Amino acid sequence: MYSWRKVKDRMFFVLILTISILAITPIIHMMVAVLANGFPMILKAGWGFFVKTPPTPLSQDIGGIAPSLIGTAILTLVSLPITIVLALFSAILVNEFPRNPLSIAIDVVAKSLASIPTIAVSMVIYILVVVPMGRFSALAGAIALTIVALPYAYTYISTVLGSIPLTYREAAYSIAMSRWKTIVKVLLPIAKRGFAIGILMTMARILGETAALLFVVGRYRTATSISIIEPVDAIPLLIFDYILTPYPIMQQIAWASAAFLLLIYITIFIAIKIIVKEVRL
């Protein structure tokens, strides 16, 4: 009987291992393909990849992604803090006052936003922001990215706050700390590593978003712009546009951009892995 149980255990282990390998094989293949096609193009372009404008169809020089890189940085720097602040206060309200009508409404709306197609968000922001402003802009893109990333940031931060044992709250209340001081002095410091992971995950979501920017940022690639009220470009948009063209030079810069974005993602997830090992409640 013991021998048969051991055999079943081994069979189950092999089954799980096989399914896991099948699940990650497409992801590994995609990563290898992107790096194999894109990294040599980055080396070929050299430092010009980060400071030059994208090539034209007849260019001999591979060019670079400076407008897209700066545009992505601006979009991230504007939308990420807003997203995190809104998600943090929403998560605190929902966790501390779960039966409040406002808390219930916030929770429902936040979770509902996660299921809305991001291209629909782009269309709404085009109507509400781009048309009244009379121009595409980084501001419109940042608003769209905030709407897209907010449900994910809220869900993660809310989960982190909800996972803190009640004993910490009880200990704080036992020494006459107010609810607000308990949140600021006790709960937030305990959850700071979890917040760091949430910020990195939200950043990854913002960096890779494409559909939400289709109708709002303007795809400005002929020069660099640092104004949030002017048109900009983004790396995912450049990849989306250039990989579909029939011009090899533009396809090369698309592969290089995809490889660069993938390296950023790998760096973020390595940082998350390091932080997760240090999480203590």
> In the chain, what percentage of residues exceed pLDDT 70?
97
pLDDT digits (tens, 9 = 90+) for 19-39: 989 988 998 999 999 999 999
Lowest mean pLDDT among 3-7, 26-30, 125-129: 3-7
Average pLDDT over residues 246-260: 93
pLDDT digits (tens, 9 = 90+) for 81-111: 999 999 999 998 888 888 888 888 988 888 8
Query: What's the CATH fold of domain 66-277?
Result: MetI-like fold (1.10.3720)
Structure-model confidence comparison of residues 132 and 275, the more confident one: 132
Average pLDDT over residues 243-266: 93
Among residues 82, 122, 106, which one has the least CA distance to residue 203?
A: 82
Structure tokens that stand for 112 in this block: 């509902």
Which band of pLDDT confidence, cut at 50, 70 and 90, is reported for residue 54?
Answer: very high
pLDDT digits (tens, 9 = 90+) for 156-196: 898 888 888 888 888 888 887 887 888 888 888 888 888 88
Among residues 89, 121, 83, which one has the least CA distance to residue 200?
A: 83
**Neighbouring-strand partners of residue 232:** 218
- Alpha carbon distance 26, 34 (integer Å): 12
- Alpha carbon distance 211, 233 (integer Å): 13
Task: Let me know: does 57 contact 249? Beta carbons within 8 Å.
Answer: yes
Determine the 3-state secondary structure of 156 from DSSP: helix
pLDDT at 277: 63
- Alpha carbon distance 240, 167 (integer Å): 50
Q: Report pTM.
A: 0.88
Task: Let me know: does 162 contact 98? Beta carbons within 8 Å.
Answer: no
